[in-house]
Structure 1
Amino acid sequence: LGLFSATISREVMDIAWVYQRDAEEVTVQEDEQNKPDIKQFRMDVAQNEKADVIARILEETGFDRCMAFCNTKGSTERICKFLQMRGIDAECIHGDIPQRRREQVMNLFREGKLRVFVSTDVAARGIDVDDVDIVFNCDVPDENQDYVHRIGRTGRAKRQGVAVSLIADYPSKMRIDDIAQKTRNEIVSVRFGENGTLETIE
């Protein structure tokens, strides 16, 4: 998309130079002040410990409104079930869940009656909530744009947001490294310290 946009921009400028007098090119710099304030973290975890890590972070932080994104329907179901088994109020939606049920879950989350909303990217479209405390990437998305869209659910209304990506294998590590580079985001490595609190890895 970026290459496509750049090509269009060049063609527009070429036309402008041909048909306009004293044409000037104006480059608008990205407004850093308007960028969402989102603290981004990455954490190495075992594949079967993702729900435990989410539960532990929620217990540590006390966050009340959370979104967890998965790449597949199966992963969405597993994460949701494991969170429920740990006593966390969680529900999930994906493409195989009937539309009526999806809307019910979405409304519960919008109304603040659901602590953790687990979803695939496609199913979560249309969810517009300003006060999401934290976003978990249970799976690292395949597209950089999906990552930006996911974490953009938090850090709205001039509040500081938090995003945590759970890294369970080498391909996921490569993907999160690429995302950090291409999106120019600082994604800080963290782990649980000896006292159980989160600490950065130097």
Structure 2
Amino acid sequence: MTDQHVSDTHFASFDLPDPVRQGLTDAGFTHCTPIQGLALPPALEGKDVAGQAQTGTGKTAAFLITVFTHLLRHPAPEQRRPNQVRALILAPTRELAIQIHKDAMVLGSHTGLTLGLAYGGTDYEKQRKQLSDGVDILIGTPGRIIDYFKQKVFDLRQAQTLVLDEADRMFDLGFIKDVRFLLRRMPPPTERQSMLFSATLSWRVMELAYEHMNNPAKVQTQDEQVTAERVRQAIYYPANDQKIPLLLGLMRKLGPERSMVFVNTKHGAEKVTAWLEGNGIRVALLSGDVPQRKRQSLLAKFEQSEYQVLVATDVAARGLHIPDVSHVFNFDLPQSGEDYVHRIGRTGRAGAEGDAISFACEDFAFHLPEIEEYIGFKIDSEMTDHAILATDLEPPKRRQRKPSSGPPRGRSGGRSGSSSGPGKQPRARQRSDQESTAGSQAAKPQGEPSGEGNGKPPRRRRRRKPRQEGPATPS
């Protein structure tokens, strides 16, 4: 197979500022990828670009090179205030924003341009102070950026460049209104350079491009497939109770050093993680409710091979660039073709080869026709041979719940009357106390109202209505 990841175009053939060339040298980049070779010529001329690019094809370097070059050759106006950013790069997920910032630190290390990073989940005051002090390039997710913008922490009126990365995902995650809000607060399209990259240039993405960009040049590689060309895809048809034995059997047979397993729900991901842990596999779990700091720590340990397997829900399907992921397992088939493409895009990155293995089980097999229609071909099927199924499996260990440190609580969430005694004993004791109090009040003489003298309101008695013997006559 010929190498489709790099082209014959050298970065040296472009007219780039010296600081940008030094950054490329530091990153070890010499040849362009196909999308870089197509996007850079019009972008370096100052034109707007809308590019179709799959994850892992080098689009990040394409727009970073353009942004650095544009800012270096078009100095900021003298009236610019420190908190007015010069470039805005929007990403749909925190992981992607962090990855773009990481790449920008390398490629822009000699430019003297300051970088800001804003994303939700952590470091609120730290990020706020960084932006108020002033940055040249702001990278982040729409929600956190809008939060700071509405507080007037930074200003977009002097923005010279704009980048929308994975624009299709902005629609999927419901961020498109936030994106439009920010674009309307920037200089008009004719007064800035804009770039948009998306896995698919659908009509809704192109509508966004034509509305907020200045006649963008549309670029996409001629031989680009919806899925990565170097990813070998296969599908099995197991029964529901065969999925765990099949997964562990394939892992033992294939022996991947670094792999990812995608599950549709958090509960399912926890179950798969427990089975893998119980059978001697170092595994980490990544789901939507994992705090940001812990998420970054898990990903770092996964990259350093402290974990062999990363079990994840779709929160990890996009924006993660983890090198050397050799296998992706779709334990559950996703509900859409786009999610399938981005899941298997975690392997076969940067020109490497990879394997994507999916399970079409009883619950999710009906998603397969839509996925195959989206990717444009039929996935090769494999037999669920009993010889592959792992048989000597250790069941997952039950996790013991920690005993509650405080007194038991009632159904309403408040503390019960006593701090001792298990179960519903305090509630029962409280009822008996009320009954004894009522009995003592009933034993009082009739001349003494119940409740007086002990701080309690008098007890009201329900009056019975007189029984009417016949129809009432008007008076």
Interval of TM-score (by shorter of Structure 1 and Structure 2): 0.7 to 0.9
Aligned to 2:382: 190
Q: Distance in 2 between matches of 1:28 and 1:122?
A: 27
Inter-partner Cα distance in structure 2 for 1:27 and 1:101: 38
**CA offsets 1:16-57 (integer angstroms, 9 cap, x no match):** 8xxxxxxxx988563249943111111112223322211111
AA in 2 matched with 1:151: I
Deviation per CA, 1:145-184, whole angstroms, max 9, x where unpaired?
11111101111122221111111126x2221121111111
Q: Which amino acid aligns with 2:334?
A: P
1:87 Cα deviation after fit = 1.5
Q: Which residue of the other structure, out of 170, 174, 178, is the alignment partner of 2:366?
A: 174
Contact 1:68 1:118 in 2 (8 A): yes
Give CA deviations for 1:48-71 in whole Å, capped at 9, x if unaligned: 332221111111111111001111
* Partner AA of 1:4 in structure 2: R
After superposition, the CA RMSD in angstroms is 3.0
Asked if structure 2 preserves the Cα contact closer than 8 Å seen for 1:55 and 1:88, the reply is no
Post-superposition Cα deviations, 1:130-149, rounded to whole Å, max 9, x if no partner, equal 21110011111122211111
1:46 alignment counterpart: 239
Q: Distance in 2 between matches of 1:184 and 1:48?
A: 30
TM-superposed CA distance for 1:118, in Å, is: 0.4
Q: Deviations over 1:77-117 (max 9, x none)?
A: 11111111122111102122333332221111111221110
Among 318, 339, 345, which residue is 1:146 paired with? Answer: 339
Partner of 2:275: 82
Residue type matched to 2:247 in 1?
I
Preserved CA contact (<8 Å) 1:65 1:134? yes
Q: How does 1:72-111 map to 2 (within 5 A)?
A: 72-111=265-304
Out of 262, 277, 284, the residue aligned to residue 69 of structure 1 is 262
Distance in 1 (alpha carbons) for counterparts of 2:206 and 2:297: 41
3-state SS of paired residue (1:122): helix
Q: In the alignment, what sits opposite 2:312? A: 119
Kept in 2: contact 1:106–1:127 (CA 8 A):
no
Percent identity over paired residues:
32
Q: Is the 1:131–1:157 Cα contact (8 Å) retained in structure 2? A: no
Higher relative contact order (Cα pairs below 8 Å, separated by 6+ residues): 1
Secondary structure at the counterpart of residue 251 of structure 2: helix
Equivalent position of 2:230 in the other structure: 37
Match 1:4 to one of 201, 204, 217? 204
- Which letter does structure 2 place at the counterpart of 1:137? N
Larger deviation, residues 179-188 vs 146-155: 179-188
- The structure with the largest alpha-carbon Rg is 2
Q: 310, 322, 328: which is aligned to 1:135?
A: 328
Counterpart amino acid of 1:116? V
**Aligned counterparts of 1:140 and 1:195: Cα–Cα separation in 2:** 23
TM-score (norm. length: structure 2): 0.35
Query: Equivalents in 2 of 1:192, 1:138: separation in Å?
Result: 14
- The residue number in structure 2 matching 1:200 is none
- Which one has the bigger strand percentage? 1
TM-score normalised over the length of structure 1: 0.78
Report SS of the residue matched to 2:306: coil
Q: Is the 8 A contact 1:40 1:186 kept in 2?
A: no
2:238 and 2:384 in contact (8 A); partners too? no
The 1:186–1:95 alpha-carbon spacing in structure 2 relative to 1, beyond 3 Å, is same
Q: Secondary structure at the match of 2:383?
A: strand
Structure 1 stretches lacking a partner, 5+ long: 17-24, 198-202
Matches of 1:152 and 1:189, distance apart in 2: 20
In 1, the alpha carbon distance for the partners of 2:361 and 2:248 equals 17
